[in-house]
Amino acid sequence: MTAVEEKRATEVVEICRFDRLIPGRGVAALLPDGRQVAIFRTMTDDVYALSNVDPFTKAAVLSRGIIGDVKGVPHVASPMLKHRFELATGYSLEDETVAVRTYPVRVIEGVVYIQP
């Protein structure tokens, strides 16, 4: 791993305070490079980050999706065509060949950070 790759692997972006996230809802955030990320806080206070772009419609709408779970696996349903994506892995529950990018999330002293 080069020094640049190593630096990128440890970079984090501050998103917001944890208490600003509403359980069971998502919000969109803009990364410094212009990518949109959907941040979700579940009813059990777990936090996940996915690309905000629905790969089926190319619309940046996943942050407005509905959070649910299938057999204990949390997912978000896109508000466009209702495709569901696992919050932890980004994989589509309807088409296992499709996935959205996920981002590592950390909550440190009440602040949510993601690693782009």
Categorise residue 105: left if φ over 0, alpha if ψ from -120 to 50, beta otherwise. Answer: beta
Residue 80 tokens read as: 């466009």
Whole-prediction pTM value? Answer: 0.89
Q: How far is CA 33 from CA 29, 97, 108, 116, in A?
A: 11, 27, 23, 9
What average pLDDT does the chain have?
92
- For the residues 83-87, what does the mean pLDDT come to? 97
Q: Please state, in angstroms and rounded to a whole number, the distance separating the CA atoms of residues 89 and 72.
A: 14
Alpha-carbon gap, residue 47 to 94, rounded angstroms: 23
Confidence tier at 53 by pLDDT (50, 70, 90):
very high
pLDDT value at 47 more than 50: yes
Average pLDDT over residues 82-110: 97
Structure tokens at 107: 């909550």
- The whole-angstrom separation of Cα 99 and Cα 17 is 27
pLDDT at residue 4, as a whole number? 45
Rg (CA), the chain: 14
Confidence class of residue 6 from pLDDT cuts 50, 70 and 90?
A: very low
Q: Please answer whether residues 74 and 46 qualify as being in contact, where contact means their C-beta atoms are separated by less than 8 angstroms.
A: yes
Q: What pLDDT does residue 3 have?
A: 47
